[in-house]
Structure 1
Amino acid sequence: MAVDEPASSASMAMVKMASTLILGMLGLVLMRACRVFVWGPRRLRSRLRGQGVGGPPPCHLLLGNIPDIKKIRAEEAQRARECRKDGVLSHAWPSLLFPHLQKWRTQYGPIFMYSAGHIQFLSISDVEMVKELTTYTSLGLGKPSYLSKDRGALLGQGILSSSGSTWAYQRKIIAPELYLDKVKGMVSLMVDSANSLIGSWESRIESSGGTAEIRIDDDLRSLSADIISRACFGSSYSQGKEIFLKLRELQQVMSHGSVGVAGMRYLPTKINRQIWQLDKQIRSTILEVVKARTQASHEKDLLQVILKGANNEGLPSNISADKFIVDNCKNIYFAGHETTAITASWCLMLLAAHPHWQARVRAEVLEIFGGGILDSDKLRGMKTLTMVVHETLRLYPPAVFSIREALEDIKFKGLLIPQGSNIQIPIHIMHQLPEIWGTDASEFKPERFAQGISGACKSVQAYMPFGMGPRTCAGQHFALAELKVILSLILAEFSFSLSPSYHHSPAFRLVVEPGDGVILHMRKV
């Protein structure tokens, strides 16, 4: 027995050492977690509070103000169900979908802070502060890191969510392909795609005896998907259909997920498993499209530029070639068709609800278009249509927030914003501020844009449907041209009114969309 004692003692010593090492590692992990999820957020709040910035105190150690947000939303649920009363459309949906922001703005002022889990938001709807933010060009102000993490399956490190040199490189590669001179050459392609939808609706109306009830939003998604596919990727909607459907499904699944809750995205919940599966399928399909492209010759388009950028020596070292391709394709697929289709849906809904404006725009379209060939010059001459589009984007901006993360300490208007703070500009609030837009800010009045954006409000920086500053959406010229093509061709061929079955229910699913779709009664002009 004495021979075994040294070996036994050595084993016990090794077990003790391993236990000490494991406990030490767990201690380090715990300390890091506390620093990231508890002490760090407290330090940010303390620095802002010391400068006079107020806000609701976090009611939960890990969830922050998320329980408060859910409670306030629950209290407003009945009002949301009554968004349309007595046949009158209400466009005051911001107070229904985001009542916590309205409540806290009233309570703490246009600059306040709150917590969504460990993410610290500094909500800013002060116009003068927003002006400074729009002119800030330093890379020290970037997109929040949680976008590429909690929303990683949809956005990854693409142009919509990256920061610093990674974003600058992607912008340099992608933006020139969407400049106005390039978009002008895409108008005929947009017209061809839209005419296919027009023909489909004409057949349905004819077979229904002259009038048909059509849910337009799904058809407009398909149309917009076809346009972005053909214009930027050299393929038709039928080839990219799987990608679009999977992205739409991913968007809907992610809208039910939580952002900012520590470690939540790693847990094998039902939602996370769906996200992981969809992400894998979308990535695989995009790479199949890319493989097919590399094996055939094509004219230069956006996909070709992305492929070239992925193999360029200037590609940042923190992103692989495949990830560069997949993430930017997902960003362009999502932003390039979803937001435009939603805006077109809202625009047709508003014109259906305001027949006098529908008649005015149709008269202008028929006068300028006249059944001839629609081109960029004719689109530019449609002033009334442009007013309607601007007003639609004001009342129903697809993206409701413009968000930036302070990647270093930054000072605006005497306020030092600590590194790690997430600056959140609520676009939907800015677009309906009575002191900027007038007492009729929540009403549909396209005439306010008769003299352009500068004549519509007291501060042009308060209008930001395509974002702000150097991060303004690279595809805004493409989106506006596409909207005008779709709307002008539809107005030239059809008149329409709201179906009695239409229920006005704006819903936030990463973007603001018609919750129950847009259903119209349509007939040939």
Structure 2
Amino acid sequence: MILGATFAAAASVPWSLLAGALLGLLLLWAAGRLLDRLWWQPRRLERALRAQGLRGTSYRFLTGDLKDFARMNQEAWSRPLPLRCHDIAPRVAPFLCSNIREHGKTCMSWFGPIPKVTIVDPDLAKDVLSNKFGHFEKLKFRALFKLMSDGLANQDGEKWAKHRRILNPGFHLEKLKRMLPAFTACCEELVSRWADSLGSDGSCELDVWPELQNLTGDVISRTAFSSSYLEGRRIFQLQAEQAERVMKSFQKIVVPGYMLLPTENNRKMHRNNKEIETILRDLIWKRIQAMKEGESTKDDLLGLLLESSMRETGRSGQSGMAMTIEDVIEECKLFYFAGMETTSVLLTWTMVVLGMHPEWQDRAREEVLSLFGKNKPDLEGLSRLKTVTTILYEVLRLYPPATAFSRKTYKEMEIGGIVYPAGVIVELPVLMIHHDPDIWGSDVHEFKPDRFSEGISKASKDPGAFLPFGWGPRICIGQNFALLEAKIALCMILQRFEFELAPSYAHAPHTVVTVHPMHGAQVKLRAI
């Protein structure tokens, strides 16, 4: 009787009240989860880290240190550096410099509600990057960075291992040798265009930053897709804009659901990404169709990627491809961005630095002319370059394209005597390691390529302190590609021109994914 009465009473309650009660409980549960994520969990993690002696900033609700980070960037970026000043860290990473100065080389800060521990110790950095302490997660904001590329650099686990295995053959030395004609052809077009721009006095002034972006864009188009830069220009324009917009959104990504908001910036990023993917999907489908019709695989990165993917599938006894079309599109987006960005940044800062230090420019030119004369560089001669190689290494030390690598703990891990709970970002600041006087000596901020004269391992007090391309199994797959391209381009420029910084040049490095010259890189070229 009592049970029947209870059911009867429940049946008499309007469904709208029941639905309202359920909705209320759901909202309370969601609010509790959100409060735990944005307040209680950060406080628990902060207590656990401070109890072990870690010092750093205190957590502030939701935004953490992002407001201070943005404010200090604005202040630092408002003033250029003096010419020949290579102490760029206070301008490029002012918040990080301030935090290390105040709290030590292992210190804590906050990326929104996520604690971030910075470790300026090359041995620990190498151990983290080599997964000595167990597997870390790549720090991912997939909704945001997929708009740039969701390729190899943003993957973990089995998917990363499979894609790395498929991509590796495309970057072997034998494959790079075959790309040499494409490298030299692109560089020849560049120096010829510059020669045509010279005035009656044999000189001209130009901004080499966009020029070198065009060069490396042309190279990656030809070597990855067998097309010219003009055919790939739209992708480069969109990728460059995406980088700017991603950095604009980066500080707001900690706001739950921010990427779902229909802001003007978000809508534009999604439109750009859709256009990039449409262009690449069309290019990939055409190549697959040609391969099905019996056309021989082109010896470019896309052809090697598709061929390796099919070979990988054949090994497993399946049909089709080991990578989906969407996977191939994301790897192509990474080819386009990373292939252009890293080398253009390296070449730009190399020309800027050699404009500041003409004695090293003269030494490099003397070496290039003694090996090649005015002929195109060949692989054997490139392998014998010593001065040029040490110059490129020293530029990578002072102006590393990526200023930091980050990982995230997914379980409790001990690093350097400190136990890190799950959910902590571990930041490995390459820029600070490269500029640490305790590692490189009191002349750390001087441009001294000779420090690399006996090789990378003997350039500093710590043989593993040079990390421009990362370390361990995830070391940049394209580092040999980037260095070979940079050597060829620098040799061919030095063969034809001498250069100095133009009066309009302002020394203003800043970060847009990688370290860019904020106001361009204006130089005065003279024919030789």
Aligned mate of 1:292, from 282, 286, 289: 286
| 1:19 corresponding residue in structure 2 | 20
Give the 5 Å matches for 1:49-448.
Answer: 49-59=50-60, 61-77=61-77, 80-84=78-82, 88-136=83-131, 140-146=135-141, 148-156=142-150, 158-205=151-198, 207-257=199-249, 258=251, 259-296=253-290, 297=295, 298-307=297-306, 321-448=324-451
Contact 1:394–1:465 (CA under 8 A) maintained in structure 2? yes
Q: CA offsets, 1:105-140, max 9 Å, x none?
A: 122211112111133211110234224324435771
What is the alpha-carbon distance in structure 1 between the residues aligned to residue 458 and residue 145 of structure 2? 37
Q: Which moved more, 1:266-275 or 1:303-312?
A: 303-312
Does the 8 Å contact 2:54/2:106 carry over to 1?
A: yes
Contact 1:117 1:262 (8 Å CA) reproduced: no
Work out whether residues 87 and 445 of structure 2, in 8 Å CA contact, stay in contact via their aligned partners in 1: yes
Whether the 8 Å CA contact 2:242–2:269 is kept in 1: the answer is: yes
Aligned to 2:7: none
> In structure 1, what residue type is equivalent to 2:377?
L
C-alpha contact (below 8 Å) 2:63/2:113 kept by paired residues: yes
Equivalent residue for 1:474, pick from 469, 474, 477? 477
Residues 310 and 321, structure 1, Cα contact 8 Å, conserved in 2: no
Tell me, yes or no, if the aligned pair for 1:153 and 1:276 is still in contact at 8 Å.
yes
Deviates more, 1:166-175 or 1:289-298: 289-298
TM-score (norm 1): 0.91
Q: Secondary structure at the match of 2:131?
A: coil
C-alpha deviations, 1:144-201, integer Å up to 9, x for none?
Answer: 122x233221122x10111111211111111221122322222222011110111111
**How many pairs were matched up?**
507
Residues 187 and 139 of structure 1, relative CA distance in 2, 3 Å threshold = farther
Q: Give the aligned residue type for 1:307.
A: L
Going from structure 1 to structure 2, the CA distance change for 1:262 and 1:224 (only over 3 Å counts) comes to same
**2-side partners of 1:49 and 1:149: how far apart?**
32
* 1:481-496 equivalence runs, <5 A: 481-496=484-499
3-state SS of paired residue (1:307): helix
Q: CA shift at 1:335, angstroms? A: 0.7
Which residue identity lines up with residue 272 of structure 2 in the other structure? L
Paired residues of 2:80 and 2:507 also in contact (CA < 8 A): no
* Contact 2:144/2:246 (<8 A) preserved: no
1:5 corresponds in structure 2 to: none
Q: Which amino acid is 1:272 matched to?
A: N
| Contact 1:408/1:419 (8 A) holds in 2 | yes
The aligned residue for residue 32 of structure 2 is 31
**In the TM superposition, what is the alpha-carbon distance from 1:67 to its structure 2 partner?**
2.1
Alignment of 1:508-519 (within 5 A): 508-519=511-522
Contact 2:138–2:407 (CA<8 Å) still a contact in 1?
A: yes
Do 1:213 and 1:521's aligned partners in 2 also have CA atoms closer than 8 Å? yes
What is the Cα deviation at residue 441 of structure 1? Answer: 0.8
Instruction: Find the residue that maps to 2:411 and give its secondary structure.
Output: coil
Letter in 2 for 1:268: P
Instruction: Please state how far the C-alpha of 1:406 moved relative to its aligned partner.
Output: 1.8
TM-score by length of 2: 0.91
Tell me how far apart the structure 1 counterparts of residues 106 and 299 of structure 2 sit (CA, whole Å). 46
Contact 1:394/1:431 (<8 A) preserved = yes
Q: Deviations for 1:407-439, whole angstroms, at most 9, x for unmatched residues?
A: 332222222222222111111111110011111
Change (3 A) 1:436 1:410: same
Structure 1: runs of 5 or more not aligned: 1-8
Contact 1:150–1:260 (CA under 8 A) maintained in structure 2: no
Asked whether the 8 Å contact 1:137–1:470 carries over to 2, the reply is no
- Counterpart Cα distance in 2 of 1:304 and 1:326: 13
One-letter amino acid of the structure 2 residue matched with residue 35 of structure 1: D
Spell out, residue by residue over 1:22-42, the C-alpha distance to the aligned partner (whole angstroms, 9 max, x if none).
122222322332333333333
SS of aligned partner of 1:112: strand
Equivalent residue letter for 1:223:
L
Alignment CA distance shift 1:460-1:495 (3 Å): same
CA distance in 1, matches of 2:74, 2:223: 43
* Separation of aligned partners in 2, 1:168 and 1:177: 15
- Report the alpha carbon displacement of residue 375 of structure 1 after superposing the two structures with TM: 1.6
RMSD of equivalent CA atoms:
2.3
Structure 2 unaligned residues grouped into runs of 5+: 1-9
How far is 1:89 from its partner? Answer: 2.6
> Does the C-alpha gap of structure 1 residues 118 and 323 become closer, same or farther in structure 2, counting only changes over 3 Å?
farther
**Matched-pair contact (CA < 8 Å) for 1:494–1:522:** yes
- Give the 3 Å change call, closer, same or farther, for CA 304–238 of structure 1 in structure 2: same
Give the Å deviation of 1:346. Answer: 0.6
